[in-house]
Amino acid sequence: MAENAYEIAQRQFEKAVRYVDLKADIAAYLRVPKRELIVNFPVEMDDDSVRVFTGYRVHHNTALGPTKGGIRYHPDVSLDEVRALAMWMTWKCAVVGLPYGGAKGGVICDPKALSVRELENLTRRYATEISVLMSPQGDIPAPDMGTGEREMAWIMDTYSMHRGYSVPAVVTGKPLAIGGSLGRSEATGRGVMITTLEALKRKNIAVEGVRVVVQGFGKVGAPAAYLIEERGAKIIAVSDAQGGVYNPQGLNARELLAYATTQGTVTGYTKAEPLSNADLLALECEVLMPCALENQITATNAPRVRAKIIAEGANGPLTPEADEILIDKGVFIIPDILCNAGGVTVSYFEWVQDLQSFFWGEDEINERLRQIMVRSFNQILRVSHEKKIDPRTAAQVLGIQRVAEAVRIRGIYP
């Protein structure tokens, strides 16, 4: 049975808050979401039947600014998962210095089992249901697992139709043609790559020939793989929901991505041997990038992990028990709220560009992203050394301190 993500987020908070000079009542306030919306809505299907879907939108905190967070379409979406993801978004935005609070949304559905028309009907109806919370100044959704540019375009259009004029800044992760940002599609993977390079420097490991294993070869894992490969690393194994492939001599990440795009999976790739997900996590390598779902490395399989660095491209891929085991083994864990913050950082750039209707070049975006990720990495390491705590707890401490300071300065209304 998978661990409850919200319970894990709470446990991480409890561990970190011990290192923050915080009144108990403010800690109690930061421990829970500000608001939670549950919507049950009808969708007309292709066979003219009507199906009722359940969706969520959770705002964790608004002390630093409007809420920001993705929308997930997955059969296993639950209120507790959305609560956890919203809470992590609060700390993530604070850690990288963005003027946002954390939010998350989701619909319980299997997007692969729906036609394009059914997905559009579902997305537009869900957007209408949560539009009571959405606005460029209030709550700005983005893509997550099971959603992408297309769904963001539908949400933006639905919101705009209700307003009577176009509102590009209400979502991020949109297509370029309607106010999307250059560099956004690769941003999360690029952030994983940047923080991994920083971790390698701290470990005094040269990037040339470094063996990298990627779990989850999707919107995060694939760019992370080919971008670090371009820096000289060797991708020896990747996996997706169907299975994995392994070649100790190295895979060509872009070639494998082209194969996976046409076949719908990496399995069956002829220049590598098949590999199970369980065996992939246990491969000997310098860098392991879990870029799939939560709870992938637990107390059960953590002892088998042989990576020196774990770069958390996914949200919550390690359980607290796995953390303890791996830290004892000397593994350097780049925590999710830093490692995968590239996506929300470039989402912030997209929002700023939309609000001012003035767009930046891709080189400028990538350089601004690099500066923010490196600065945040160094700040977390400083807290880690000062307080003698692991990087995940240090990242949470940094995030909690910044949100708590905003709450203190703003005061409690009324």
Contacts of 166 (CB under 8 A, 6+ apart): 160
Instruction: Calculate Rg over the CA atoms of the chain.
Output: 20
| C-alpha span between 69 and 60 (Å, rounded) | 10
SS3 209: coil
Query: What percentage of the chain's residues is helix, strand, coil (to nearest 5)?
Result: 45, 20, 35
Burial class (CB in 10 A: 0-12, 13-18, 19+), 310: buried
Q: Confirm whether 104 is a catalytic residue.
A: yes
Contact 369, 345 (CB under 8 A): yes
Which of 68, 92, 104, 174 is catalytic? The answer is 104
201: which 2 tokens? 């420097």
11: which 2 tokens? 């446990």
For residue 32, how many other CB atoms are within 10 A of its CB?
A: 12
| C-alpha span between 406 and 153 (Å, rounded) | 33
SS3 53: strand
Burial class (CB in 10 A: 0-12, 13-18, 19+), 351: buried
DSSP per position, 294-340 = SS-B-TTTGGG---SEEE--SSS-B-HHHHHHHHHTT-EEE-HHHHT
Contacts of 97 (CB under 8 A, 6+ apart): 372, 375, 376, 402
SS3 135: strand
For residue 182, how many other CB atoms are within 10 A of its CB?
A: 20
Active site residues: 104
